[in-house]
Structure 1
Amino acid sequence: MTRTVLVTGGSRGIGRAVAERFAADGASVVITGRRAELVEAAAKELGATGVVCDATDPRAVEDLAAGFDTLDVLVNAAGGLGQAQPDPAATELESVLAQWRADLDGNLLSAVLTTTALKSVLAPGGTAVAVGSIGAERRGGSYGAAKAALAAWYAILSAELGPRGVTANVVSPGYIADTDFFRGAMTDAREQALIAETHTKRAGTPRDIAETVFFLASDGARHITGQTLHVNGGAFTTR
């Protein structure tokens, strides 16, 4: 049976890689993003359906959810470093508040709104996955705090969805190359330092994350839920 998969933030980076992996498996994939030109181009290249949707806008998310009668896989990949609107007249505390709100909106509330709107149509045997970050564990600032809250909320979500046979997990990447996460601010020295922190001595790739998400949506992962899976080459270890 063909699975229906929704990937928010699916027009580029990790989200696009996730969408590509499911599309290659024959799934009916829907991707979302805020920029129409990127969504349309990615959807055409992937053979997916593209929907322009700002996941921080409740009305837009409601409209998105109305298009689904059933959903097998929900992947919340929208997010990134928040961009607060610059305000030269803002005080220090107002600037701090704006930055925190931008990160919480983009990385936590976007997933909360999307999942809340769609959880009722998640099919038995389905899965919800969110993309977290190593920043939740260290040096993450307001972005890391938002990702940490995302993981905490997904643990609650797992308990809610589990009786229906639906799993909920977070995949937490370390440094991933070939994305625009750093918006051109990554230096060679910084990149080499991040790679040196890994045990594998290489940067992660969007495909590394996509394959992990794909596994979590497979039959082999039906008893994995309420977890944060760290995919970082050993840069952050757990026991």
Structure 2
Amino acid sequence: MPERLAVVSGGGTGIGKAIARELAGCGHRVAIIGRRAEVLAAAAREIDPVRILPVAADLTDPAQVTAAAARIAEHGPVDVLVNNAGAVTTAPADDSLEALAAGWRRDLETNLLTAVLLTTALGEQLRRPGGRLIMISSSAAQRGGSGPYSAGSYAAAKAAMHGWALGLARQWGTEGITVNVLAPGYIADTEIFGEQWTPEFHAVKVADTLVGRAGTPTDVAAAVGYLASPAAGYLTGQIIGLNGGAVLGR
């Protein structure tokens, strides 16, 4: 069976690196994309230097996305695309509308536009039939922002991803491509919270779950592994919560 190719944005650290490890373990060649070349190189050495292809690019820059897509095209059709890149923008430094606008633009670019540009650039390379497009969102999109998300821009950007992904599911379903959104809750051991993380913050987030623990990058990676597999061919157009019961399904 030919080697399958996966692409993971934000694949150098945290959840993205765990996803890359999972997909490599399932036999994929995995292109990991991120801004920091040295971080990507370290992740490739740690996971599997043969199976991991580091591709340095700022995914908010159309020219760099185009170049990254061209490099990935050299390795064949894309079987799995995981849009994982994202971050919580630092709160505005003041209460001006200018600062607010700048913060919202950063969150929309980082958490939505990156996925839109990369998916569009690689759209024709997705395998037909059998391609898998997976968006990593957040439970903040389902319940609204709180804590470090209080400005609302992160939650809004992720929620916008949901509507866009559902439209892609309709568009590409007849071509044999599945499109799903995975919305994790509180996941420890990531860079996303930055200085917002404290032991008290952790305790509050864990207490909000029904299972009494934080999620891990491995939890997210395992779910992605299933969504990326041939076994998930009848699962598409879904927003899937992975949050320890902090947000109940509906």
TM-score calculated relative to the size of structure 2: 0.91
1:147 aligns with 2:147: no
Counterpart of 1:50 in structure 2: which amino acid?
Answer: P
Residue-by-residue CA offset, 1:53-102 (whole Å, 9 max, x unaligned): 11111001111111214100000110111248x7x7x8710000000000
Residue aligning to 1:173 = 184
Counterpart of 1:58 in structure 2: which amino acid?
Answer: P
Alpha carbons 1:19, 1:31 under 8 Å: kept: yes
1:52 aligns with 2:56: yes
1:74 aligns with 2:85: no
Separation in structure 2 between the aligned mates of residue 154 and residue 139 of structure 1, nearest angstrom: 19
1:125 match: secondary structure: coil
Residue aligning to 1:115 = 119
Separation in structure 2 between the aligned mates of residue 83 and residue 194 of structure 1, nearest angstrom: 20
Residue aligning to 1:195 = 206
Q: Count matched residues.
A: 236
Separation in structure 2 between the aligned mates of residue 180 and residue 40 of structure 1, nearest angstrom: 18
Residue-by-residue CA offset, 1:141-189 (whole Å, 9 max, x unaligned): 1000000000110001111111110001111000001111111321212
Alpha carbons 1:83, 1:102 under 8 Å: kept: no
Separation in structure 1 between the aligned mates of residue 239 and residue 191 of structure 2, nearest angstrom: 23
Alpha carbons 2:188, 2:216 under 8 Å: kept: yes
Counterpart of 2:53 in structure 1: which amino acid?
Answer: T
Q: Which runs of 5+ in 2 are unaligned?
A: 146-151
Q: Which runs of 4+ in 1 moved over 4 A?
A: none
Residue aligning to 2:136 = 131
Separation in structure 2 between the aligned mates of residue 236 and residue 91 of structure 1, nearest angstrom: 31
Alpha carbons 1:7, 1:31 under 8 Å: kept: yes
Separation in structure 1 between the aligned mates of residue 70 and residue 82 of structure 2, nearest angstrom: 17
Separation in structure 2 between the aligned mates of residue 120 and residue 65 of structure 1, nearest angstrom: 10
Separation in structure 2 between the aligned mates of residue 221 and residue 25 of structure 1, nearest angstrom: 14
Q: Which runs of 5+ in 1 are unaligned?
A: none
1:210 match: secondary structure: helix
TM-score calculated relative to the size of structure 1: 0.95
1:211 aligns with 2:216: no
Report the RMSD for the aligned CA atoms in angstroms: 1.4
2:79 match: secondary structure: strand
Residue-by-residue CA offset, 1:210-232 (whole Å, 9 max, x unaligned): 11111011122111111111000
Counterpart of 2:67 in structure 1: which amino acid?
Answer: D
Residue-by-residue CA offset, 1:30-68 (whole Å, 9 max, x unaligned): 101101110111122222110101111100111111121
